[in-house]
Amino acid sequence: MMQHDSHVLFTGTSGSRHHGRPGLSHNQTVSTGKDSVRIVPLGGTGNVTKNMFVYEYRYDGKLRDILIVDCGIGFPEPEMYGVDLIIPDIRYLEGKKDKIRGLVFTHGHDDHIGGIPYHFGKLGGMPMYATKLTAAFANLKLKEVGVKDRVRTVSYDDKVIAGPFRISFIRLTHSVPDTAHLVIETPVGIIYHGSDFKFDFTPLDGKLPEINKINHWGRRGILVMLTDCLGSERAGMTASEQVVGTTLEKELTHARGKFLFTTQSSNISRIQLAIELAFKFNRQVAFVGRSIDQNVEAAKQIGYMHFPAESIIRDRDLRRIPPHKQFLIVAGSQGQPYSAMTRIANDSHRFIRVREGDTVVFSADPIPGNEVNVNSLIEELYRRGARVSYSDIMEDLHVSGHGSQGDLMLLLSALGPRYVFPIGGTYRHLMQYKRISQELGFDPQRILVPEEGEVLEFRHGTRPRIAEHIELENVMVDGLGIGDVGTTVLRDRQTIAKEGIVVVVVPMEQSSGRVTAEPDIISRGFVYLKDSGEIIDGAKAVVARSIRLKKGKIVDWAFVRKRIEDNLASYLNKKTGRSPLIVPVIIEV
């Protein structure tokens, strides 16, 4: 069996700097026949967000080493009342911390890095790696929660060695700079991890996708390519970021009052473009919202943004600037509750009011699941008198960071992998990817579409197989609570939202355990008490019968509560056709 070291970082193509023991030589990655590598998707397959992939090396069936790629967040569905975000379910990794050799991030979007503050402690403090901007964004999140460990910065010429895994980096373009695809050399073959990308040959930052590296690895031979497939329904190539500048300039030409610009806070290149256009039109720039402030500051510190500090004003100082001189770059393009954009739209921001003649530009499309929030935001802004521009009514205010069919097929052709595993899309995107790749001549039997929870295993010289099924659940974050909102709590919230709540208050004498008066009924979101006297009187009678189980003292209150719930639920449903949440409360007097 091979001997595996932990974490060695090779820089460039000559020389090395070591963190630990010497690395594996190239001939040590040859399969012995007992080696296998498993891909365990904990998020990012069959859904767009919550990306997290686990790569396992096994020898003779025994788990030896783990490499993790990304640890992102997901966004709650509209019916997930009160839930702030969703993080990957990492129960599969319990008891395996000593096997984790490292975590590598592909790019700086929250659905790829946002889960790390919640999971870092549980994962055992493993080394983390990312390109410069991605590391800066991830470190901001770690710092916020008091984690002292930091993501190590790598360049595109570095190699990271984590046990038997040798990771190389390829620059790709996306809607955030410093996006990387990963080439993972393993004992059973080379894996290409191609998360979110497009081929932009005129990027705003001038840093082109590294086609030469893609061709190089294609010639080496790729066992399996994981690939972004979110844009598989769009024909052609995804447009360059440059087109956004042309459209934004036209919007500024017609703007009379304040100009509010919102995009994803991590889209640093587009924010830089907006700043330059604001200066061109003699407007002063203000950053509005915590995520914008933090990301811009982090990007500026490492040289990814450039503007004179004196040209930026604080939102509290806007009152001394005429509206037609203001250019506000605002966080909250996805309509997040309590974001700066949402507070402005609801007229509850401390310093900013939208009025007749102002212009609001959305330079971002809703992430799937956020459509309702974004549409509500646009409605409110219209009601305030703003002129609102967004993708549904105007082209080229936003271009996707995800490759269309042309981009996807270009990557497939350049790499020529033996197997393809489309990721980062819903099931319909996976199926569409399968169709267009077949049209290119790719064997449909070599396109792998595992269901959620299915673990793929690769061995040298054999077809991949489903080695295991694991149970995955949504881990919901609500305020300070992580994972304490489960299906039962969520179901109760959904019931309250749809049917209302009925609280039954039963007064009990503390010393004797006897009921001292008739029960009281409190209704919220179910029926209006003043207009529903007959129903409420009937409900009180049902409760009274439910607690008349025996003479004298009531001992088993748990049984009584359940009896109240069942009997009252049956009565109320019969009378109203509704099924509110029923909460019996015993008050000791």
**Mind telling me the catalytic residues?**
228, 402
The bridge status of strand 284-288 relative to strand 326-330 is parallel
d(CA 330, CA 341): 6
Question: Residues near 400 by Cβ (< 8 Å), separated by ≥ 6?
Answer: 175, 198, 230, 231, 234, 238, 365
Question: Residues near 140 by Cβ (< 8 Å), separated by ≥ 6?
Answer: 294, 295, 298
The helix (run of H) or strand (run of E) holding residue 140 is helix 132-144
d(CA 218, CA 241): 27
Place of tokens 């009565």: 571
Asked whether the beta carbons of 84 and 479 are under 8 A apart, the reply is yes
3-state secondary structure string across 37-53: EEEEEEECCECCCCCEE
Asked whether the beta carbons of 128 and 34 are under 8 A apart, the reply is no
Question: Residues near 170 by Cβ (< 8 Å), separated by ≥ 6?
Answer: 156, 180, 181, 182, 183, 209, 210, 213, 214, 217
Instruction: Measure CA of the first residue to CA of the last residue in the chain; give whole Å.
Output: 72
The pair phi, psi for residue 326, each rounded to 5°, is -100, 135
Question: Residues near 302 by Cβ (< 8 Å), separated by ≥ 6?
Answer: 132, 133, 136
3-state secondary structure string across 428-493: HHHHHHHHHHHHCCCCHHHECCCCCCEEEEECCCCCCEEEEECCCCCEEEECCEEEEECHHHHHHH
- In single-letter form, the type of residue at position 248 comes to L
